Structure 1
């Protein structure tokens, strides 16, 4: 009986299941990383999915990197399979509104509509409702925060990749500015940004960074609703 249990345990470990024989669900969180003990960074990608998002997923898979995608509902409706595959690969999915509207210019009802339509599209594609929001343009006010009814996650490193379509510049910015606990803003709608990702990963790994999702960056703490968060530099205690 003992021999059978040992063999079962080895098979379970090799197959990535559980001792009870239950398969790890698609989209399960990657192995835990304690960002209080190691240097962590959260790469976040806004405005997708687009056609080139699939190439980005390949790059992240090849390098075993997890990220967070803030998806526009209208684009999810166009590329549902890409959104689904991002979730199944273990990346975190966030809400980035229905059509990238400036939410501060809308009424409370209009903001709720923007978010609920995006939630619906994302849930239909991935099976999950996003637990965090990133307001388009980083624009928020009391109306937006209240209507969101979830944490707003913004960023502490702005690559300005939308302005400077220069892959080398993007890599240099991230390499020089990133500190433990930072959230990096990127946009996979730009080919130059996707081209920069291998260089970003190489540069930050050389500095000892671990790549995590937004939720992992703050674990075990849960972000409170209606609060805007930019980084978690306070977590790292070498």
Structure 2
């Protein structure tokens, strides 16, 4: 899957919630050669689009998770790994900074998920100056890139709040704007069954919004996967949904 022999030979020669205010120190734990090899692969321009799906012919759905990484992200990653499902995570810079050693942030990348920029502190970007928008996105980009080596190629504006000015800044930063067409409202209705019912309304090409900071959402994920699998859906990342990396500055809600 990783073409490890080649890469190892070379080695030998990405709703508002309260977030921490102080930036934690970034600790760089020692990692294995295999993990380093995966991160080299992750730096390729089409990462994580290593698989090929024709979502114009099959029923695809992209599960997306916002506002993490948080205390429950590890359990979610375990669930997705067990089911061999990839998702897209839109991370907050402050939460990445509070993630000890960047362990969950690194796992998102190392396990083949897509990572996107959700700003640093979850403000409504439409209320900021162009410089403020760049600061929110730039801080998060810098930290995630330092931890994982990955340059994020998409973002999700907090609250879905965007306009022409925000679009111009995201274009300048090389980021596509990813919204959604299925909102589970998991931040409001904190009951697993409510999350499952909302996710079940997905159609072919849907982008489903959830938040990995809520334990009830993570608890709902196995039933979400079961329900959508029975309906014939294939789970893909956002880039896989479109068959390419979304274009900078453009806004996407569903295929």
Q: Contact (CA 8 Å) 2:126, 2:162: kept in 1 or not?
A: yes
Rounded Cα–Cα distance in structure 1 between residues aligned with 2:149 and 2:134: 20
Taking only aligned residues, the RMSD between alpha carbons, in angstroms, comes to: 1.5
- Uncovered stretches (5+) of structure 1, i.e. residues with no partner: 1-15, 233-238
2: CA distance, partners of 1:146 / 1:25: 33
Are 2:162 and 1:140 equivalent residues in the alignment? yes
What corresponds to 2:55 in structure 1? 35
Secondary structure at 1:185 match in 2: strand
Contact 2:153–2:248 (CA under 8 A) maintained in structure 1: no
Structure of larger gyration radius? 1
| Structure 1 residue 129 displacement after superposition | 1.6
Match of 2:69 in 1: 49
Q: Deviations over 1:70-103 (max 9, x none)?
A: 0001111111110011111000000000011111
How far residue 114 of structure 1 moved from its aligned partner, in angstroms, is 0.4
Residue 88 of structure 2: aligned partner: 68
- Per-residue CA deviation, residues 183-203 of structure 1 (Å, 9 max, x unaligned), is 000001111000000000011
Q: Secondary structure at the match of 1:69?
A: strand
Residue 227 of structure 1 corresponds to 250
Contact kept? 1:56, 1:188, Cα under 8 Å: yes
Cα contact 1:154–1:228 (8 A) shared by 2: yes
Aligned residues between the structures: 214
Structure 1 distance, partners of 2:241, 2:2, is: 25
Q: Is structure 2 residue 141 aligned with structure 1 residue 119?
A: yes
1:6 is aligned to none
The aligned residue for residue 10 of structure 1 is none
The normalised TM-score by structure 2 is 0.80
Q: SS where residue 22 of structure 1 aligns?
A: helix
Counterparts of 1:67 and 1:151 in 2: how far apart (Å)? 17
Residue among 151, 157, 169 paired with 2:182: 157
Q: 1:183-222 maps to which residues of 2 (within 5 A)?
A: 183-220=207-244, 222=245
Distance 1:66 1:96 in 2: 18
Task: Give the Cα–Cα distance (whole angstroms) in 1 for the partners of residues 2 and 81 of structure 2.
Answer: 20
In the alignment, the residues of structure 2 paired with residue 184 and residue 190 of structure 1 have an alpha-carbon distance, to the nearest angstrom, of: 15
Contact preservation (8 Å) 2:117, 2:137: yes
Q: Which residue matches 1:170? A: 195
Q: Give the superposition deviation at 1:17.
A: 5.3
Give CA deviations for 1:81-131 in whole Å, capped at 9, x if unaligned: 100111110000000000111111110001100000010111112111210
Task: Show CA shifts across 1:169-194 (max 9, x none).
Answer: 1101111x100100000001111000
